[in-house]
Amino acid sequence: MRDDLPLRVASSLVGAALLLLVLWGGLPLILPTLLLVLWIGGLELRDMLARRGVALNLPLLVGGGSLLFFLSLPQLYWHFPQVPWREVALGLFLMGSFSYELLKGADLARFAFTLLAFLYLPWSLGYVLLLREVPNTALGLWTLSLPIVASFATDIGAYFAGRFFGRRKLAPEISPGKTLEGSLGGILFSFLALVVYTGAVREVFPFGLLELWLFSLLLSLAAQLGDLAESMLKRYCGVKDSGQFLPGHGGLLDRIDSLLFTFPLTYFLVVLFT
């Protein structure tokens, strides 16, 4: 682990710089980036599930996910707020999946895991497009960065708290290295990070301390649930990493597993609280 530490740090810095550039650029940069993430993440899911003999329907996943991204564009909700666009995309994907299996052999495992992959990857990522424009184009950058700050702070807090104080296993059958002390450290560090972050941009997040505590608690728990969900999937497939996308960090899904749960939750909380 010590041998690849410089590589991990260098990869993290490059990744963070690219992420900030994409977020700052808004929808013209975010949309193609999401399509790229969908494609790479789909490939990683396909390769992992293949080890269990499950044939993921990658073309249908990418095609349906691309349609979902398009129907998640905020402009559609501004002009036609009465239409549940994302649910329309889900319905079309379901009908397309059923039709494909009826014509191609009724592989129920392929149908079930492709539907799971659709909900896991593009359905969650689509909320990025909505968050970037809430409450408006100028301030949406801060809203979208909220789950990123909470997820990264949870990862950092859990890592160091688990390393120095970890004694009791959190989910030994899924991820033996995670501890209850690490989980609590992640929750605490996430709260402290959000206190500093939201204090700097009060015009976007006019939260009281109790609201902020509830907000950070839910986001930190969602981040850890996303991490454990990815670990469960990898354990099911018998792999250590989802891929080799980022040197020293494993696959792309390994890097975004927490965000796949905190993006949707942040959107619902922001709509509820503001």
Q: 28-82: per-residue pLDDT in tens?
A: 999 999 999 999 999 999 999 999 999 999 999 999 999 999 999 998 988 888 8
**98-107, 155-164, 221-230, 244-253: segment of lowest average pLDDT:** 244-253
User: Percent of the chain beyond pLDDT 70?
Assistant: 93
Chain-wide mean pLDDT for the chain? 89
Mean predicted confidence (pLDDT) in 90-98: 96
Q: Tell me how far apart the alpha carbons of residues 123 and 260 are, in angstroms, rounded to a whole number.
A: 9
Instruction: Fill in the DSSP letter of residue 246.
Output: B
Q: Tell me how far apart the alpha carbons of residues 141 and 134 are, in angstroms, rounded to a whole number.
A: 8
Longest CA span, the chain: 56
The answer to whether residues 186 and 154 touch, using CB atoms and an 8 Å cutoff, is yes
Q: What is the pLDDT of residue 39?
A: 96
CA distances from 87 to 62, 69, 91, 119, 228 (A): 17, 12, 6, 11, 27
Please name the residue that has the structure tokens 């979902």.
68
Q: How confident is the model at residue 1 (pLDDT cuts 50, 70, 90)?
A: very low
Q: Tell me how far apart the alpha carbons of residues 247 and 251 are, in angstroms, rounded to a whole number.
A: 9
pLDDT tens string 212-247: 889 899 999 999 999 999 999 999 999 988 888 776
